[in-house]
Amino acid sequence: MVLCRACGATIAPACSRMAVNGSNTHVFFNPHGLVFEVSCFGPAPGATPVGRATIEYTWFAGHVWRIALCASCQAHLGWHFQGEGNSFFAFMTKAIREHSSPSKA
């Protein structure tokens, strides 16, 4: 499972990790020069896109974006990108953590 680092809530199943433009992880900088490492995910029921979608400064050509918050604690997790026929989340790697279920013996 992928969890919110701030509150521990479940954000997405690990199997929703996906490649976008040939890679799951990307490093981008915003117009203010801040650098973000993000991992891309498909369905993420624990994340909520908020705000008005914009194409301005998009990191993924042809995709509008909105901020994505943790549905439980409202921590900023990353961004939700939507293009023609597809959408995905790009979560900041510092805002999430992975948790694997213990194996059953």
> Within its chain, how far is the Cα of 72 from the centroid?
15
Domains of the chain: 2-98 (2.170.150.20)
89 φ, ψ (degrees, to nearest 5): -105, 145
CA 32 to chain CA centroid, nearest Å: 20
Per-residue pLDDT of the chain (105 residues; tens, 9 = 90+): 999 999 999 999 999 999 999 999 999 999 899 999 999 999 999 999 999 999 999 999 999 999 999 999 999 999 999 999 899 999 999 999 998 766 554
DSSP 87-101: EEEEEEGGGEEE-PP
